[in-house]
Amino acid sequence: MKIRYPVVAGYFYESDPELLKKQIEESFLHPIGPGSLPKVNNSRVKTSIGYVSPHAGYMYSGPVAAHTYYMLAKEGKPDTIIIAGPNHTGLGTGVSVMIEGVWKTPLGDAVIDTELAKNIVKNSEYAAPDELAHMEEHSVEVQIPFLQYIFGDIKIVPIVLMLQTPSVAKDLANAINKASEELGRDIIFIASTDFSHYEPHEIASKKDRIAIDAILDIDPERLYRVIEKYNISMCGPGPVMTLLYLAKIYGVKKAELLKYATSGDVTGDKRLVVGYASIRVPSK
């Protein structure tokens, strides 16, 4: 069995299992977090297509990410969680899907849903089986311990996008929809992204609000335009546009902002910050 070992444990999040659980709980209880620990629904009540969640170190973005997982816990455990993140390394293919094996974290193993992963690739013009893009990439990895904390054993499909255009995102959304319907999979889609990078807090917040408004209006093309027009250094527009195209397939009209904050809100240093958001896309 192919094993993808963690590359940012001990760096983005604690490498010791007990310290990691404590760190995740502190994210939920943080003043910027939800304020209480999540309550996991023992039965599945699907009320969302997916979520936008940040992927920085937990000491910076963990409290904002906690809002995503606090809400997801209420929905109960899906069959498979598809986690899509941007490609920061430049390695691998344009749309890289790891189709087999397990992802190890300090909290255990997340097993890849091989059948679903292969079906996504089959239905897409751009997606291809690829492991190289995933080996050093953190954007998918940092979501997994939160998921393991709330659900325990999970099945995942990890996807990393180097090609982040509306046409590629639309193709991937259609492929995910077809693949999950063909197999009868109950899925949740996590779009992993941070927003503005290394700008003063006020400027980052203003720019990010423009991008977030496009997301809340389920408008992937507008999101792409405003990122270019206002030079918004959001690293994961591709995963987010994929989520928005999935929403459009189901006729969803509005998304919900759960929390926005910057690294400056956490650290107090607002000179150069990174923006983070948790956003829920409802299923109807």
For 122-148, the pLDDT digits (tens) are 999 999 999 999 999 999 999 999 999
pLDDT digits (tens, 9 = 90+) for 219-264: 999 999 999 999 999 999 999 999 999 999 999 999 999 999 999 9
Alpha-carbon distance values, 24 to 39, 40, 84, 102, 222 (Å): 14, 15, 21, 22, 34
What are the CB-based long-range contacts (under 8 Å, 24+) for 106-109?
Answer: 106/6, 106/9, 106/14, 106/15, 106/16, 106/17, 106/20, 106/145, 107/17, 107/20, 107/21, 107/144, 107/145, 107/148, 107/149, 108/148, 108/152, 108/153, 109/153
Tally: H helices and E strands in the chain? 10, 12
Please tell me the predicted confidence (pLDDT) of residue 165: 98
Average pLDDT, the chain: 98
Per-residue model confidence (pLDDT) at position 239: 98
Q: What would the two tokens of residue 156 be?
A: 């995942």
Q: What is the architecture of the domain spanning 3-282?
A: 3-Layer(aba) Sandwich (3.40)
Q: Once rounded to an integer, what is the mean pLDDT over residues 12-26?
A: 98
Centre a 10 Å sphere on the Cβ of residue 126 and count the other Cβ atoms it contains: 19
pLDDT at residue 1 is higher than 90: no
Compute the average pLDDT of residues 65-72: 98
Classified as helix, coil or strand, 191 is strand
The pLDDT value recorded for residue 284 is 80
**CB–CB of 215/280 below 8 Å?**
no
Instruction: Look at the alpha carbons of 3, 76, 180, 225 in this order and tell me if their dihedral is positive or negative.
Output: negative
Question: Residue 150: its pLDDT value, please?
Answer: 98
Segment 103-116, tens digit of pLDDT: 999 999 999 999 99
Domain ranges in the chain?
3-282
